[in-house]
Structure 1
Amino acid sequence: MFQRISKSRSLEATSIVFSSTLQIGDCSYIDGTVHALAVQRRSEVLHERDDDFSDYKIFFQPFVFPIITEHLQMRFDNLCPFIETGNIRINAVSTGSVVGIGNVGHIRMTSKIHHTRQLDRNYGNSNKSSGVKNQ
């Protein structure tokens, strides 16, 4: 199935978080899905029950993958059986991402993120008492 061999001298990854994957070696399929709620607020207090996925219909709508209608013709001439890299340094991989060293047959990645900004009711008035002007 796979035509080439991947070789790397070294790999250093500082941070891999939030459903991310470091795949070393060949694999047939990578199928990744991320659902995330991103809430920004001024308060440092965590509420017992913040928003839930069931509060937003976006997480229940099906993904629509576009249909490729163009005719593709590909030809590969692998003159060397190796794909070689030197040293790989990764600072961070986050939120359902994949770093792959090796061959992958098929990859499908989907992501749904709902961003919410929650402002205090007194946000515009709070700066007046501290002497800071609203800009």
Structure 2
Amino acid sequence: MLSRISQVNHLTLNSLLSSSLCQIGDSTHIVLKTRVLAIKREYPLFYGREGDFNSYDVFNEPIPQPINEFINMQVNNTAPLIKVDRVTIRGCSFSSVIHVGSTCTIDAEARIKHIRQLEGDTPQTPDIGLEKQLSTTASELQDTLQDDATR
């Protein structure tokens, strides 16, 4: 890998979250991985066993890999600098890269499973087992709350 000097005069970055990277300069290999299980419920009832990523197909499916083919290319960098005057970024999240410089490979992956359980909702995801249990418990909780309210 040919290395050059990276120069940034001014960088404004408001937020950098969740396995993201801001790098000025060269790198050889960058690996970024994010796994998120987001559960939103009308009634905040959690059992502590909902966080098993292996229970959800989205976290186990293979990631398609790019096709690697040789390209004959000749690059002539006449200046030894990568020069940037000003960069303004509001935010970077979920396995993203802000990079001024050279790199050989970047491996970035973000897998997110959203589950929303609101009153009257029927589970719509293929992970029915856990959601059915939680739905039943939410209904039981609502019945208990209604009984308490009528007393």
Normalising by structure 2, report the TM-score: 0.66
Q: Are 2:88 and 1:89 aligned? A: yes
Separation of aligned partners in 1, 2:6 and 2:45 = 45
Q: Percent identity of the aligned residues?
A: 32
Q: Does the 8 Å CA contact 1:4/1:78 hold for their aligned counterparts?
A: no
Choose between structure 1 and 2: higher strand proportion: 1
**How has the CA–CA distance of structure 1 residues 95 and 44 changed in structure 2, closer, same or farther, with 3 Å as cutoff?**
farther
How far has the Cα of 1:10 moved from its partner? 1.4
Tell me the amino acid that sits aligned with residue 112 of structure 2: I
Q: Are 2:2 and 1:2 aligned? A: yes
Separation of aligned partners in 1, 2:58 and 2:85 = 42
Normalising by structure 1, report the TM-score: 0.73
How far has the Cα of 1:104 moved from its partner? 1.4
Choose between structure 1 and 2: higher helix proportion: 2
Between Structure 1 and Structure 2, whose CA radius of gyration is higher? Answer: 2
Residue aligning to 1:131:
none
**How has the CA–CA distance of structure 1 residues 81 and 120 changed in structure 2, closer, same or farther, with 3 Å as cutoff?**
same
Separation of aligned partners in 1, 2:97 and 2:35 = 15
Separation of aligned partners in 2, 1:58 and 1:105 = 28
Q: Are 2:110 and 1:111 aligned? A: yes
Q: Are 2:20 and 1:24 aligned? A: no
Q: CA RMSD in A?
A: 2.5
Separation of aligned partners in 2, 1:46 and 1:77 = 61
| Runs of 4+ residues over 4 Å off in structure 1 | none
Q: Which runs of 5+ in 1 are unaligned?
A: 123-135
**How has the CA–CA distance of structure 1 residues 115 and 85 changed in structure 2, closer, same or farther, with 3 Å as cutoff?**
same
| 3-state SS in 2 of match to 1:74 | coil
Q: Which runs of 5+ in 2 are unaligned?
A: 122-151
Total equivalences in the alignment: 121
